[in-house]
Amino acid sequence: MKTQAKFSSEKHLKRFNLRSSSALNYCFGTYTPKNEMLEWDRKGEQKPIGDFMQKYVDFGVEHEKSGIAKWILINKQMPTEILEDQHNYVLQNAFNLKGDTVVDLSCTPDGRFEDTLLEIKCGSLGKKPHDWSKAKVYLAQVSIQQYILNSLGIKIDKTHLVSWSFNATRIWEIERNYEFEHYLLGLLEEYAMALINNSKLEDKPKKFEGEHKIKLIYGDE
Amino acid sequence: MEKLSYKSVFETLSKIDVTGKTEQIKTKSGNYTYLKWHYAWHIFNHYYPEVQVKWLEPFTYDNGTMILRCRVEIGELYKEGWLPVYDNSYNAIENPRADDIQDNMQRCMVKTMALFGLGLQLYHNGQTKPEELNLVGEINDPEVKKIAKAKDKKKAVELALKNGGINENTSEIQLGEALEKV
């Protein structure tokens, strides 16, 4: 994986890094409560993955390449920044904080083709693809990825969320949603401030009331 | 006549599509698909009429449950399988009745036949069509092999897409392996 160059001349700065893959926890405390996430981030560590979840993570890592290959075969195009050539994008001091502590936002998309990001998920240990009720949990990650790349000057209009399995695949096209980005950034800023100020957070934020532009472009409903 | 080998038998039987020859059992933990015993027997006899099924001494346990043991032979080739006497929720039955034993003898025979390759894909993930397994990086599609060997994979993939060497029927598992190979 290539890491985007960092401008870290300010050696005295303390940096925190919020990853798009954990956006769901930062914003909603879905899998790990926000206050527990804060503790881990303050220590500069990631919460260890339990044995039960590890097998799902390992399966996803193993078959990300199958999901990408499926996307290539369906779309008849070759994306960039895949597998060993993935790029880690970092939006430094994402909230324009003044002082000696900054919070970065980072993401590592699974691939990119023109104005489209690829995000590959391999649920159910390959038994079947996600249905939308499960896949929608990735909206926060997808939206933050789109925001980070656009903020870094890389025009991204949509993401193809690929849910791969041995027997079937579904692909949703998720258009950039400024309203949802704004909503998520508000929650991330709250999280960042709590991180810096050693304060606590409520797990349940106000629900997003806007609309998403999402369509299933491959696979059965 | 060519002498039978485990490899040739497996290559024959594991490629059989058993669609329409299965039944589904619904349990609390999920739905399971099985090849019906009479189809299994029919297919085996079609390819290997010398097939024989022998029943070995079952294991019985203090709590009254038991494991059936079966041996399927094709000439000198054989496989031995086993199966507890289950109810339809996959709980071992204590002191099973004759009809419980008979049902599970059929399941045990089909499972042992699967060790030769017939309907083995059902036990992977319930699908009835033969499955091309990704055996630790194995790539047998010649077009995908070219991509695996190419220095510039992007160009190789684009060329293969352009000339139709790879398409929607290509195994994404093999192509994925090819993309990963440095």
Report the pLDDT value the prediction gives residue A4, as an integer from 0 to 100: 46
Pairing mode, strands A87-91 and A2-3: parallel
**Phi/psi of residue B24, each to 5°?**
-115, 135
Residue-by-residue pLDDT tens, chain B, 182 positions: 567 899 899 989 998 999 899 988 887 777 788 899 999 999 999 999 999 999 999 999 999 999 999 999 999 999 999 999 999 888 899 999 999 999 999 999 999 999 999 999 888 777 777 766 655 567 889 999 999 999 999 999 999 999 999 999 999 999 999 998 65
Inter-chain CB proximity A84 and B154 less than 8 Å = no
Confidence of residue A130 (pLDDT cuts 50, 70, 90): very high
Structure tokens at B46: 């079609």
Give the separation between CA B170 and CA A70, rounded to whole angstroms: 9
Q: How confident is the model at residue A9 (pLDDT cuts 50, 70, 90)?
A: low
What stretch of H or E contains B171? Answer: none
What is the C-alpha separation between B182 and B179, in angstroms, rounded? 8
Diameter of chain B by CA atoms?
66
CA distance A108 to A85: 10
Question: For B154, which of A66, A78, A126 is closest by C-beta distance?
Answer: A78
pTM of the predicted structure, to 2 decimals: 0.68
A67 alpha carbon, distance to own chain's centre: 17
Query: Is B125 close to A167, i.e. CB distance below 8 A?
Result: yes
- What are the residues of chain A with a beta carbon less than 8 Å away from any beta carbon of chain B? 63, 65-70, 72-74, 76-78, 80, 82-84, 126-127, 164, 166-167
Backbone angles phi, psi at A68, to 5 degrees: -65, -45
Helix ranges (DSSP H) in chain B: 6-13, 37-47, 98-114, 120-125, 142-149, 153-162, 172-180
Q: What is the pLDDT of residue B113?
A: 97
**Given this model, what pLDDT does residue B182 score?**
55
Quick check: A83 and B180 CB within 8 A?
yes
- A2-3 sheet: strands from edge to edge: A2-3, A87-91, A101-107, A14-19
Pairing of strands A158-164, A169-175: antiparallel
Distance CA A55, CA B128 (A): 25
Q: Per-residue DSSP letters for B19-64?
A: TTSEEEEEETTEEEEEE-HHHHHHHHHHH-TT-EEEEEEEEE-TTS
ipTM of the complex: 0.89
pLDDT attached to residue B2? 65
Across the interface, whether the CB atoms of A126 and B125 are under 8 A apart is answered yes
Q: In this complex, is the C-beta atom of B73 within 8 Å of any C-beta atom belonging to chain A?
A: no
Q: Do B175 and A73 touch (CB under 8 A)?
A: yes
